[in-house]
Amino acid sequence: MKLSLRNAGWRVRGQDIVHEASLNFEAGQMTAIIGPNGAGKSTLLRLASGLLPPTSGDVWIDGAPITRFSSACLAARRAMLMQDSPLRAQFSLRELVAMGGRISAPFMSTSVRLELAGQLLERVGLAAFSERDVMDLSGGERQRVHLARVLMQLEAAAHGNGRPPGFLLLDEPISAQDLSRQHLVLNLARAHALAGGGVVVVIHDLNWAAACADHIVVMHEGAIYAQGPPEQVLTNALASHVFGLEDGRVRMHVGSGKPYVLPHDMMCQS
């Protein structure tokens, strides 16, 4: 299965927020989208999800334009974790996660759905809170319960039919997570790719991007600036040209293994 943007763009009030992006996201691969604030990363992800119709070009999934799929078929093929997912209703965590499969797996019985939801809450480290009200969560917990919900959407659809799960689209999924939960969340995303699903993650932390992604796409001023494996993309030239960090303020180290980024010229250093 493949998810492709074909010259897809989004223009508003005479400004190209995303300009003619052409990208292929492959099943079994994890792609990180990086770039400065306002570069167009979230907009690109929303275009890829089909939630935002492009003003030019189109988006294809599984060999057909994304607009051709019914909402149930599309829900089975891709799920999106937004940067901020509001919670207004009162549900238990288990009920909220189980709802993730309502559209993508409409024929699954409630008991199986609730059982899968329980397993997902365990995987995101929230099993102890299964019956708690979702309104009573911390920011990090709320972000992880929504991750469980979108995983539910794809895994319920693939449950018992031998098909690989669809595309998991994650917009800054570790922004509210502590170090060990950053590791947990990105490992869950990697596991999804290893199970044959596709993963596209918008992420600011370049070290995590280098550690977990097979492929990195760099966005800059609404356009794709570069793409490739981490060791090719994460360079000192990128730090200065895209992030505007001149004079070696950070250093990208590309040794024999994965590249990593270190702050260098800090004012507090002697």
Q: Is 14 in the site for ligand ATP (CB under 6 A)?
A: no
Nearer to ligand ATP, 76 or 169 (CB): 169
Strands (E), the chain: 2-12, 15-26, 30-34, 56-61, 64-65, 78-81, 167-171, 198-202, 215-220, 223-228, 250-253, 260-263
Q: Which of 19, 23, 31, 41 binds ligand ATP (CB under 6 A)?
A: 41
Q: Which of 1, 3, 17, 233 binds ligand ATP (CB under 6 A)?
A: 17
With CB under 6 A, what is the number of residues at the site for ligand ATP? Answer: 10
- Residue found by looking up tokens 């890829």 in the block: 48
Q: Is 142 in the site for ligand ATP (CB under 6 A)?
A: no
Nearer to ligand ATP, 97 or 185 (CB): 185
Report whether 143 contacts 184 (CB < 8 A).
no
Q: Is 37 in the site for ligand ATP (CB under 6 A)?
A: yes
Q: Is 12 in the site for ligand ATP (CB under 6 A)?
A: yes
Q: Is 31 in the site for ligand ATP (CB under 6 A)?
A: no
Q: How far is the CB of 49 from ligand ATP (least distance, A)?
A: 13
Structure tokens at 230: 């981490």
Q: Which residues contact 28 (CB under 8 A, 6 or more apart)?
A: 164, 193, 194, 196, 197, 198
Structure tokens at 31: 């792609």
Nearer to ligand ATP, 117 or 170 (CB): 170
Q: How far is the CB of 252 from ligand ATP (least distance, A)?
A: 19
Q: With left for phi above 0 and alpha for psi between -120 and 50, is residue 188 left, alpha or beta? A: alpha
Q: Is 244 in the site for ligand ATP (CB under 6 A)?
A: no
- Residue found by looking up tokens 């995590």 in the block: 208
Q: Is 173 in the site for ligand ATP (CB under 6 A)?
A: no
Cα–Cα distance measured from residue 34 to residue 32, given in angstroms and rounded to the nearest whole number: 6
Q: How far is the CB of 215 from ligand ATP (least distance, A)?
A: 18
Q: Which of 43, 49, 104, 182 binds ligand ATP (CB under 6 A)?
A: 43
Which residues contribute to the site for ligand ATP (CB under 6 A)?
12, 17, 35, 37-43
